Amino acid sequence: MVKLSERKLRGFTLIELLVVIAIIAILVALLLPAVQQAREAARRTQCKNNLKQLGLALHNYESTYGMFPPSRINLSNPTFQISWNTMILPYIEQDNAYRQYNTNVNWFNVVNDPVTTIQLPAFLCPSTPGSRPVPTVTLYTALSGGARTDQPLWGYNDYGSINAVRNAFIVMAGLPSIGTKDAMGAMGRGPGGTKIRDITDGTSNTLLLGEGAGRPRQYIGRQPGLNPRVGNVAFDTQYTADGWGWADINNGFSIDGANSAGLQNDTSSSGATTIVGRCTMNCTNDSELYSFHTGGIQTVLADGSVRFLSENMSAAVLAGAITLQGGEVIGEF
């Protein structure tokens, strides 16, 4: 009788299994940053596309009315103003929302809730963290002058009009003081708006819109923080006060500059300045330029183009890029 040889069955040893796990872990560690970078690049591109759409809408508005919209304007009722966002709704395929908006009452009036609570992707940067809190009743009451004691979820907004440079920023930049005045930008002029011919610094040298992302959550640096202006009833410790709703007439920026703790520079009623920091952007999202993109923010210029500004750019150059008739020679930025 022929005896058949037994075949030995061989499996993974513990050491081999650990080696495979270690190799997989190394590959994941190497590939994960690349995947994250690719995702952020896609989000940044979408943000740029949003701003390009808004820039085109501003130019379509200008073609219709002969001027860019100001940051806010009175329409049918001199008592109530509406935001630049609301004014361009017909030009971002939201004409029905615009027709439903009642200009005879305040933007925060309950009558306008069916419109102002719409979340519009064109006003949202995809890089902004997804979880945004609903502000407290205290903040709603403060923003509405006591008119609201409920918590409507107004449509979020990550972009704002760049209205002016305040004297504190001017002094911080090493430029001559302008006292109690502001150096106005193209979106800060009212009660009408800015004509292209009025932008004597050039449309390719003058900013219209910029990012103020993450509102209503207060951010200091890249982390949620506490608003350093506590003590004022208009400011809840965890939230920025103005501009988090796209219908909010105060969603623009008149920039002061800030320090790394989020405290802003200040100009007193006499024109004296208090300079606490030299941060031009990305230190706080409370009425200052801010984004979640690495290294800077995205902006719209008066020629409709979108440009990424480095957070390391000169304060003097940024000030010159905001003013519309400053006469500065700023070169490339």
202/302 Cα distance (integer angstroms):
8
Other beta carbons less than 10 A from residue 245's beta carbon: 26
Average pLDDT, the chain: 88
**pLDDT score of 6 more than 60:** no
Average pLDDT over residues 315-330: 91
**pLDDT score of 8 more than 70:** no
114/226 Cα distance (integer angstroms):
31
Would you place residue 321 in the very low, low, confident or very high pLDDT band (cuts 50, 70, 90)?
very high
| Residue whose structure tokens are 């400011």 | 235
Give the type of residue at 198.
Answer: D
**pLDDT score of 326 more than 90:** no
pLDDT of residue 247: 96
241/248 Cα distance (integer angstroms):
11
Give the type of residue at 215.
Answer: R
Instruction: Report residue 219: phi and psi, to 5°.
Output: -115, 135
Helix/strand/coil for 192: coil
Would you place residue 242 in the very low, low, confident or very high pLDDT band (cuts 50, 70, 90)?
low
pLDDT of residue 233: 47
Instruction: Report residue 215: phi and psi, to 5°.
Output: -65, 145
253/234 Cα distance (integer angstroms):
17
**pLDDT score of 216 more than 80:** yes
Residues near 52 by beta carbon (within 8 Å), at least 6 away in sequence: 300, 304, 306
pLDDT of residue 231: 52
Of the two residues 317 and 263, the one the predictor is more confident about is 317
Would you place residue 158 in the very low, low, confident or very high pLDDT band (cuts 50, 70, 90)?
very high
Of the two residues 97 and 151, the one the predictor is more confident about is 97
User: How many percent of the chain have pLDDT more than 70?
Assistant: 91
pLDDT of residue 303: 96
Report the DSSP beta bridge partners of residue 212: 290
Give the type of residue at 223.
Answer: Q
**pLDDT score of 298 more than 50:** yes
Read off the pLDDT of residues 10-64 as tens digits, 9 standing for 90 and up: 666 878 788 888 888 888 887 777 777 778 889 999 999 999 999 999 999 999 9
Angle at 331 between CA 51 and CA 58, to 5 degrees: 25
Would you place residue 306 in the very low, low, confident or very high pLDDT band (cuts 50, 70, 90)?
very high
Would you place residue 223 in the very low, low, confident or very high pLDDT band (cuts 50, 70, 90)?
confident
187/252 Cα distance (integer angstroms):
9
